[in-house]
Structure 1
Amino acid sequence: MVADEIGGKRPASRRPPVVSAIIPCLDEETAIGQVVTALLAQNVSEVVVVDGASRDRTAQRAEAAGARVIVEPRRGYGRAIQAGIAAARDDADILVFLDGDGSDPAEFVADLVSPIAAGQAVFVLGSRVRDSREPGSLAPQQVVAAYIGGLLLRLVYGARFTDLSPFRAIRRDELIRLGMQEQTYGWNLEMLMRVAAARLPALEIAVGQRRRIGGVSKVSGNFIAGVKAAWSISATFVRLALELRHQKIPRRE
C-alpha cells in the first residue's frame, strides 16, 4: 500500500500512484541488496538501480533483490539520476530518489510520498539534520554544506530547506517541467533551487540518517572528492542563481 493506502483505506475513486524509486550507485555490493529489499517492502512500484559500471557485484545483487538495473558508465551523479528518470516506468506518477548505501531510511518512503499523493505538495525533501542521526552517519563537511545550502536558499528564494539530502520525492511531470540540467554533484541543489524558483508546493520532513552499511562514501569518505563536490555545489548555486534570474520558469502563485 502506497501513499493514500498507508495508514488508512484508499478512496475507491482514486488509484494508488505509481512510484518509481531511483538509486544511483557505484561499488555498493554490500548494501544495495538490503536497500532494494527495504524499498520493495514499502510497496513502491519499481526500483531502478543506475549502476555506474561498478567493479564489484553491485548490479547482480541489486537485480537479485528485485531491482531493474541499468548501466550508466559515464561519471556524474546528475547524469546517473537522469538515466534513471529516463528508464523509469512511463506511467510513473511519483519519483523517489535515495542513495544505495543504506544511509537513507527506506521506511520513510511513505512519509515522502503521501503528501504528494494527497495533493498537499509536489515535492517533499527528507532532512537528515532535523532529527536524531547515528553518530558518524554524516561527515562534518556534509553538515556544514547542508547549513550553508539552506541559508542560501532561504536568503535568495525564501525557501526553508535545512538540507541538501538526496532522499526526496517529486511528481514526475513537475520534475520534467523544471528542466534539470546539472550532471554532477550539484543535481540535488539544482532541484531545490528550481523548486523554490517555480514556487512549487514543497514540504520537508525529518528522516534522520544511518551510517552506511558498507563501502566508502564517494564524497564524505574522501577529502578530495568532498572538496570537488563542495566546489561543484557552490558553483552550481552561483551559476543557477544567475540563470534563473533570466529564465521564465512557470510559477505557481
Structure 2
Amino acid sequence: MLQQLRAEVEPLKGPASLAAVTAIIPCLDEAEAIGEVVRGVLAQGVGRVVVVDGGSRDATAEAAHAAGADVIVEPRRGYGRAMMTGLAALGPDCAVVLFFDGDGSDDPGRIAAVAGPVLANEVDFVLGSRLRGAREQGSLNVSQIVAGRLAGMLIRLRYGVRFTDMSPFRAISRTALDGLGMCEESFGWNLEMQMRVAASGLRIVELPVGQRRRRGGASKVSGDLIVSARVAWVLLRTFIRIAGAVRRTAGRAGPAPRRP
C-alpha cells in the first residue's frame, strides 16, 4: 500500500532542484501568451523548455524562442504528433518530463508540486487535476469538464484507477514514459497516457492544480452541449480503440491515484 501524501506537497528546495526536468509545451497561434508562459516555467528552475509549434500563423515561434525556449516547428497537425516530436528532442539530462499548456491557463507556480514527487522518486506519474483546486471563473468550459469526467469514468471501469480529469498539466519519469509505448497522434494522447499508466500499475498521484483563464480569448475547444457531445463521442471511440491494445499488466492492478 502506498503511503498517503502530505496535505500539501512541499516544493523542492531551490530552483536548481528542477534542473533535470524538461517541459514540453505544444502550441498553435499562441503569440500573445507563449512568451509569458515560457518565462514562468523557466523561473521555477525547470532545466529546459521545448515548445512544439504546430505551424502557427502568428509570431508564436519567435516569442517562445525570445523567452528562452527551444522551438521545434511541427507542421503536421495532431496534438499527439506534437508531443511525440517534443519527446524526440529530449536530451540525456532529462529525468522527468513535464507537460504544460501554452495558453497561460496552467499555473507555473504549481510546477514544483507536480514534478517534485516524480523527481524525488516518490511516484512515477503525477496528474494535475483542474477540476480540483481553485479555478478562475470561465477557465473551463462544459466540453472540457465533460471530457475529464468521461475519461475518469472509463479508466476506472477498465483499469480500476480513479482520475478526476484529463488535464494536460502532468509529469512523468523519463524511464516510465519510455516504457509506455505511446503512439496516439490525435488529441487522444492524454487519454492514452492515463490508460497506459493505469494499466502498467505505475505509482500514481493526482494533485489539485486548479485552472486560470487562457490568455488571448476563448479556448480553441470551447463550445456548447453539442460540441460536448461530439467530444464525448470522439473520446469514447478513442478509448475503445486503445483499450483493445492496452491491457492491465497481469498481477498489477495499479493503485488508485493518491490524493492529498
Verify same fold: TM over 0.5. yes
Of 41, 46, 49, the residue aligned with 1:47 is 49
Stretch deviating more after TM superposition (219-228 or 73-82): 219-228
Shift, 1:172, TM fit: 1.2
Query: Structure 2 CA distance, aligned partners of 1:115 and 1:249?
Result: 26
Equivalent position of 1:152 in the other structure: 154
Equivalent position of 1:108 in the other structure: 110
Aligned residues: 245
CA contact (8 A) 2:201 2:252 kept: yes
| Unpaired stretches in structure 1, ≥5 consecutive residues | none
Q: How does 1:97-246 map to 2 (within 5 A)?
A: 97-220=99-222, 229-245=231-247
> Residues 34 and 97 of structure 1: is their aligned pair in 2 closer, same or farther, counting only changes over 3 Å?
same
Of 98, 103, 127, the residue aligned with 1:96 is 98
> Residues 221 and 119 of structure 1: is their aligned pair in 2 closer, same or farther, counting only changes over 3 Å?
same
TM-score for the superposition, normalised by structure 1: 0.89
Equivalent position of 2:32 in the other structure: 30
CA contact (8 A) 1:218 1:225 kept: no
Query: Structure 2 CA distance, aligned partners of 1:165 and 1:235?
Result: 19
For the residue of structure 2 that corresponds to 1:178, the secondary structure is coil
Shift, 1:225, TM fit: 7.3
The residue identity in structure 1 corresponding to 2:140 is L
The alignment's C-alpha RMSD in Å is 2.6
> Residues 221 and 36 of structure 1: is their aligned pair in 2 closer, same or farther, counting only changes over 3 Å?
farther
Query: Structure 1 CA distance, aligned partners of 2:101 and 2:12?
Result: 26
Query: Structure 1 CA distance, aligned partners of 2:226 and 2:88?
Result: 31
CA contact (8 A) 1:94 1:169 kept: yes
Q: How does 1:74-89 map to 2 (within 5 A)?
A: 74-89=76-91
Stretch deviating more after TM superposition (144-153 or 97-106): 144-153
Q: Kindly, what percent of the aligned residue pairs are identical? A: 54
